[in-house]
């Protein structure tokens, strides 16, 4: 009894001292549908890696610091990646400034092929970053595609979903709304 009481007290103190942890707990409780594949964990630092835009300009995930970020690792040759991309685009439109959805094309993804897919799929709301040498993907332990990682406003990984998902589903929006506190 005392042990469980201490656990409850510790959890309450942790959430009181760390609002982001409370948001993760609230989001975790709402996982349903495809979101059951989403695994939350203690905040972990991510490696720094040099990324590129479609125009070969340098970019970094730290450019999105200060807000919740959903990072989707994908490739043009990956059918499940291509299937979920329109849902990610709709998710970004739905969430607006509450969440940044960032796509990272990892490995060999020719820029013309990315642009062609974006045009064919009608993607309008998502940035494309490229990780041509898979430096970031390897550093984050991405072994297959797609993988979607959730970063807290401090830029730390707090959640990961392996495989595709319906990111614009009511279940996903409920989880992400609880996470972002909006």
In this predicted model, what pLDDT tens digit does every residue of 161-171 receive, in sequence order? 999 999 999 99
pLDDT at position 25 is: 72
CA 95 to chain centre: 13
- Kindly state whether residue 122 falls inside one of the protein's structural domains: yes
pLDDT at position 35 is: 86
- Kindly state whether residue 147 falls inside one of the protein's structural domains: yes
Specify the number of domains making up the chain: 1
- Kindly state whether residue 105 falls inside one of the protein's structural domains: yes
- Kindly state whether residue 69 falls inside one of the protein's structural domains: yes
pLDDT at position 163 is: 96
pLDDT at position 118 is: 97
pLDDT at position 15 is: 40
- Kindly state whether residue 130 falls inside one of the protein's structural domains: yes
Residue 124 burial by CB count (10 A; 0-12/13-18/19+): exposed, middle or buried?
Answer: exposed
**Residue 122 lies in domain:** 19-180
Can you give the CATH number for the domain in which 133 is found? 3.40.30.10
Provide the residue-wise pLDDT of the chain in tens; the chain has 182 residues.
434 333 333 333 344 434 455 577 766 666 767 889 999 999 999 999 999 999 999 999 999 989 999 999 999 999 999 999 999 999 999 999 999 999 999 999 999 999 999 999 999 999 999 999 999 999 999 999 999 999 999 999 999 999 999 999 999 999 999 999 87
Does residue 81 contact residue 118 with C-beta atoms inside 8 Å? no
- Kindly state whether residue 9 falls inside one of the protein's structural domains: no
- Kindly state whether residue 40 falls inside one of the protein's structural domains: yes
* Closest to 18 in 3D by CA, of 160, 154, 150, 182: 154
Does residue 71 contact residue 63 with C-beta atoms inside 8 Å? no
- Kindly state whether residue 77 falls inside one of the protein's structural domains: yes
């Amino acid at each position: 009894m005392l042990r469980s009481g201490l656990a409850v007290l510790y959890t309450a103190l942790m959430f009181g001292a760390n609002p982001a942890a409370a948001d993760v707990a609230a989001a975790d409780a709402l996982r349903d549908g495809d979101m059951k594949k989403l695994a939350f964990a203690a905040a972990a630092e991510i490696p720094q890696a040099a990324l590129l835009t479609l125009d070969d300009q340098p970019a970094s995930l730290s450019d999105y610091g200060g807000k919740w970020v959903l990072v989707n690792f994908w490739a043009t040759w990956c059918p499940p990646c291509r299937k979920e991309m329109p849902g990610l685009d709709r998710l970004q439109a739905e969430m607006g400034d509450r969440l940044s959805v960032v796509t990272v094309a990892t490995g060999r993804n020719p820029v013309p092929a990315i642009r062609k897919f974006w045009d064919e799929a009608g993607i309008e709301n998502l940035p494309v970053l490229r990780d041509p040498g898979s430096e970031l993907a390897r550093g984050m332990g991405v072994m297959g595609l797609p993988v979607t990682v959730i970063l807290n406003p401090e830029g730390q990984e707090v959640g990961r979903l392996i495989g595709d998902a319906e990111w614009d589903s009511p279940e996903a929006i409920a989880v992400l709304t609880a996470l972002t506190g909006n």
